[in-house]
Chains A and B, each alone.
Chain A
Amino acid sequence: MTNETAANAIWVFIEHTDGVIADVSLELTGKARELADRLAASSDRAPEVVGLLCGHDVDALAHDVIAHGADRVILADDPELELYRTLPYARVAITEARKRGPEIFLIGGTPNGRDFAPRVASALRCGLTADCTDLQIGDYYVKKEDRTYKDLLFQIRPAFGGNLIATIVNPHTRPQMATVREGVMRKPAADASRKGVVEKIAVQLEPEDLVLEVLSRQVRKSTVKLKDAPVIVAGGAGVDGSEEFALLRDLANLLGGEVGASRAAVDAGYIDRAHQVGQTGTTVRPRLYIAAGISGAIQHRAGMDQSSKIIAINTDPSAPMFQIAHYKIVGDVGEVLPLIIKTLRERSMDQSDGHAGEADEE
């Protein structure tokens, strides 16, 4: 019975820390709901959206998963599952996936998700695509077999060097697995009235699953709030050293925003990786994105091209970033940023001086 209802399902790996579900897991639950509804339109049986929740004393989280779009939560509760560890978590996922045969399995591109997903995919001998920037449903024709595979998961990601966007499919193996970074999909609004099944399963671990013990764990609460920042001032390779990078922080503070960075700036050691915007960093949609000295590789653009307004500053007039920018400034970051800072400071001084007339005009 369980098998029958759970077949043709879309699974989401539900990550949680300190009794809170990771945003990315709820974002993917929402995406899974969307894909399931799309699949229901072209098949006679609607797929179930299933959250796979491993942990200890985490019953309370199951309803949150359902409220964000799941039909069912597979709940594996065991003291050995209290903290994430590769082997016990993978054991549960592999055992259940073999039993139930899900169509699709989505995992957050977090450190734990990127540790878990390949282990599971290898055991199930199925395909896995990392860091997808979009997921769709579509048909795939294989010429060699003269056969069209209906309703496959299209796993879309920037590829090789970032000048290409590749659509990856797995026609022959199940589940079709993909990881997606936090912020790429939108988190749906919770609907507390949604109904779903919470199915507790018996956890059976083997002694070899427990060969690794966690001696200590330090969680660093990130003070970087890129994802929700209204304004992001981001720097790249065109920023000349840490001193010039400090200008970005000044400007971000003036605008009530956050400092972002391209991978090049992170690799150069100007700023911590927590600030990285892009496919392998954070995906952002601020009101204003200022790209200072960022050439605009696709991996970076994939993480910020939904920004409402983009200002690009670069000495190279052919930088790809200019092609998606609303304001193009060909110039040196070290000269342009101080000008913007100065202009903003003067404006705020004008306003505090009581130039009400000017404020009214606007």
Chain B
Amino acid sequence: MLAQRVAQQSLRRLAATPSRNAALLKFSLTPTAILTSPQFRQVATQKMTPTDSYQILVEQRKKRPTSPHLTIYEPQIPWILSALNRITGSVLSGAFYIFGSAYLVAPLLGWNLSSVSMAAAFGSWPVIAKVATKLLLAFPFTFHSFNGLRHLAWDMGKAFKNQTVIKSGWAVVGLSTVSALALALFV
């Protein structure tokens, strides 16, 4: 075992490049160094203040990859409907907030936002504008309502399987589109 080690060490000495470091060569040829066998690693170290190393860390962090944009993801029904849920909710709540605050400030600005005048104003619009406005409000309403049921089911820990999520997603798309059209055209 010892003989093998000695052979290994001397092989290493032989393979080492003599021109690299004169001091190393001298040291490795000294007989006392053979059995103590120091390991040499030619790593350059630098003395560095904490602020210097901090600066290096900052430089490296600047080169970390940033989050890619949504467009790199394959369009899939779960995440698209999730985004749509927030968008439709914001549209509905935005309309709700705008109406509520407008009704409060209406007397100050001389607007008449009573239900009678609003109904009269809306009734005087052309049919296409009426249907378009109704669709623009009805679809967010139906979608957010049906998708909300889906979310409540998930919150109870149900219908979580991937295939179920995809199927229920398409069901919500179909139901909300049909019911929105019905509300806009026939009600």
Partners in one complex: no
Binding site for B on A (CB under 8 A): none
